[in-house]
């Protein structure tokens, strides 16, 4: 005879936890940062290997702020997921999905230019955790209000 009662799916405290969804989005954001870091290492490595023969990439100060705004918007997705309401989860799903698609497409186009290892890095660091984050968010949105239904 068990002394601890078993929890039903509707009573499981881990189910429908917005922190779990936010952690998925945080992992995807960390993957995007890792991808950009590796991409910079790949570029610097190629630049040094070619003894400076490849053209240097420079950015105008007016355009440079867009990189920080674009990659900084990942934190908005995490914060929206932490709110935990159905509406906030929906906005996190749309914004996060858009960021996953844009980052993946950017990584693939960079991979076509710089080599397959860049495209693979985009798929591994952004797309893979992004798909899990999208699925977790969708599941959380669909299960809210239906705690009595066994999934």
Express as a percent the part of the chain with pLDDT over 90: 50
Q: Is the dihedral of CA 76, 37, 122, 48 positive or negative?
A: positive
Question: Exposure of 95 by Cβ count < 10 A (0-12 exposed, 13-18 middle, 19+ buried)?
Answer: middle
Where is 33: in which H helix or E strand?
helix 18-49
pLDDT digits (tens, 9 = 90+) for 82-124: 998 999 999 999 999 999 999 999 999 989 988 898 999 999 9
Rounded CA gap, 71 and 47, in Å?
Answer: 24
- DSSP state, 147? T
Rounded CA gap, 103 and 134, in Å?
Answer: 14
Cβ-proximal residues to 14 (8 Å cutoff; 6+ apart), any chain:
20
Q: What is the pTM of this model?
A: 0.79
pLDDT digits (tens, 9 = 90+) for 68-81: 888 889 999 999 99
């Amino acid at each position: 005879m068990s002394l601890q009662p078993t929890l039903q799916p509707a009573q499981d405290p881990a189910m429908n936890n917005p922190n779990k969804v936010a952690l998925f989005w945080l992992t995807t954001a960390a993957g995007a940062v890792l991808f950009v870091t590796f991409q910079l290492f790949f570029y610097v490595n190629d630049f040094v290997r070619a003894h400076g023969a490849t053209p240097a990439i420079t950015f105008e100060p007016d355009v440079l702020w867009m990189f920080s705004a674009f990659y900084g918007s990942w934190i908005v997705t995490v914060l929206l997921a932490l709110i935990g309401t159905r509406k906030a989860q929906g906005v996190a799903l749309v914004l996060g999905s858009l960021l996953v698609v844009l980052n993946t497409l950017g990584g693939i186009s960079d991979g076509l230019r710089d080599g397959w290892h860049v495209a693979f890095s985009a798929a591994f660091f952004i797309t893979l955790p992004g798909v899990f984050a999208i699925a977790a968010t969708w599941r959380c949105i669909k299960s809210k209000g239906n705690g009595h239904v066994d999934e």
